[in-house]
Each structure stands twice: as C-alpha cells, then as structure tokens.
A and B are shown apart, each in its own frame.
Chain A
Amino acid sequence: GAVVSQHPSWVICKSGTSVKIECRSLDFQATTMFWYRQFPKQSLMLMATSNEGSKATYEQGVEKDKFLINHASLTLSTLTVTSAHPEDSSFYICSARDISLFYEQYFGPGTRLTVT
C-alpha cells in the first residue's frame, strides 16, 4: 500500500505557542489530503480537507484560525496549531488520497500533541 508519513510523531509544547505538523505522501501524489483528530478510545474526527493549491475546507466547529492547513504540493500538507492550549492536546492524523486509485485513502502514523 501507499505510504504516508508524519513529522513529528510526538511533540510537547507550552500553552500559547504554535506547533507545525507535516504530512507527506512518500510514493504517490495526493491531490486531496485530510486532517483528523482522535481522542482516546474514540473514532476519527475529520477536521479539514485540503486540495493541492487550494484553501482547506474545514468541518463545522473547527476553528480555521487555530488550525491552519497548507497543501502546497501534491506530496506535502501541513497543520499548524496556533496559540495552543491544553484542550488542543490530542492525536492528530493526516490522510491522503491517491489520485491513481480513485477510492483508496491512506493514513499517516499520527502525531501526539501535548500542550502543557
């Protein structure tokens, strides 16, 4: 299957600072990338969808100014959590769709964010 990487795998930051998470599709081109958030023992919650070169589409209830998403190329998307607060602590997972395989969607290994 296709490989999606995320960096960093875990990060600890202080309240009020910003954190950037990178998501890369390593062996395929992804016109669409997705960002999810997952709380312990819960399902994945879609935060936003981004298409290469376009602004991200955010799900209802997700603050656009807090979670900045950039999808500058077919292999890279970034999520920046701005002015992080302890309630932003979570497991963030990116996902990418392979344009050569219309339906399949692959997930990254996730990033554990802890805000102190």
Chain B
Amino acid sequence: QQQVKQSPQSLIVQKGGISIINCAYENTAFDYFPWYQQFPGKGPALLIAIRPDVSEKKEGRFTISFNKSAKQFSLHIMDSQPGDSATYFCAARDTGANNLFFGTGTRLTVIP
C-alpha cells in the first residue's frame, strides 16, 4: 500500500515556467513532509520540508503548499531552469515511526 501518492510521474516545463508536483497521504499521524531532489546517479538531496502547523513554506524558487484538511501537499518551482531537471520525491513521516515514506517520484524536464 502506497502511503504517499505522487503525481505526475513525469513533467515537462518550459524554461521560466512553474513546475507543480502534487502528493497526497492518508495517515493523519504524518507530521513532517520533506521534498528531495535527485539527479541521475546521485543520492537524494533534501530540498525543502514543512510541518503541518503552517500552510506554506518558501525557500528561494521553491515553495511547499500544505493542505491539512485535504491531506495534500505540493511543490512549486518558480522560474524553472534547465538545471532543475531531476527527479523529485515527496515523503512523509510520523513522529512515532522512524522512517520516511516516499512517493513514487516525478521526473521533471525543463526545456530551454
């Protein structure tokens, strides 16, 4: 059973555009929601994370929007650049568990 559902599977965005990746979860015990960026042949890098006590967190061009009632959260990449082309994973963890539950990943391609 997939604890965190991620969509879309792949995304192509024009340079300068906005990339939006969505995730949904069911476990209401989740209280930490990070996003990771992974380039081919590399490990995932923590990009940005949010806790459910806030509805939005912004770091540079990256923004997480969080909707607790809908149990959804999303990553927005503003002014997308070719260097943003990578696979993005959302994840979630509850304080009682010790590990992260990952989404299936979104392969983002930003075309010049």
- Chain A window 77-116, contacts with chain B (Cβ cutoff 8 Å), 1 for yes, 0 for no: 0000000000000010100000000011111111010000
From A41, A103, A107, contact of B45 by CB (8 A): A107
From B36, B51, B99, contact of A103 by CB (8 A): B51
How many residues on the A side are at the interface (Cβ–Cβ under 8 A)? Answer: 22
- A67 in contact (CB, < 8 A): no
Contact status of A108 and B43, CB under 8 A, knowing A43-B104, A103-B93: yes
Residues of A within 8 A of B93 (CB): 103, 105
Query: How far, in angstroms, from A44 to B107 measured CA to CA in the complex?
Result: 14
Residues of B within 8 A of A43 (CB): 89, 102-105
Are B44 and A107 within 8 A (Cβ)?
yes
Are A106 and B99 within 8 A (Cβ)?
no
- Mark out the residues of chain A between 39 and 82 whose CB falls within 8 Å of any chain B CB in the assembled complex: 41-44, 46, 49
- Mark out the residues of chain B between 1 and 52 whose CB falls within 8 Å of any chain A CB in the assembled complex: 32, 34, 36, 41-46, 49, 51
Q: Within the complex, what minimum Cβ distance (angstroms) separates B88 from chain A?
A: 11
Most chain A CB within a 10 A radius of its CB, from B34, B43, B89, B102: B43
Interface size class of B (residues with CB under 8 A): 20 to 34
Residues of A within 8 A of B41 (CB): 91, 110, 112
Specify the chain A residue showing the minimal Cβ separation from B103.
A43
Q: Within the complex, what minimum Cβ distance (angstroms) separates B21 from chain A?
A: 14
Are A103 and B43 within 8 A (Cβ)?
no
Are B43 and A34 within 8 A (Cβ)?
no
Q: Within the complex, what minimum Cβ distance (angstroms) separates A14 from chain B?
A: 23
- Taking A1-B45, A42-B104, A103-B34 as known contacts, 4 extra A-B pairs with beta carbons closer than 8 A to each other, sorted by chain A number, are A43-B105, A49-B98, A93-B44, A104-B34
Chain A to chain B contacts (Cβ below 8 Å), 7 pairs = A41-B105, A42-B104, A43-B105, A46-B100, A49-B99, A105-B93, A110-B41
A-B pairs with lowest CB-CB distance, top 4: A107-B43, A103-B32, A110-B43, A109-B43
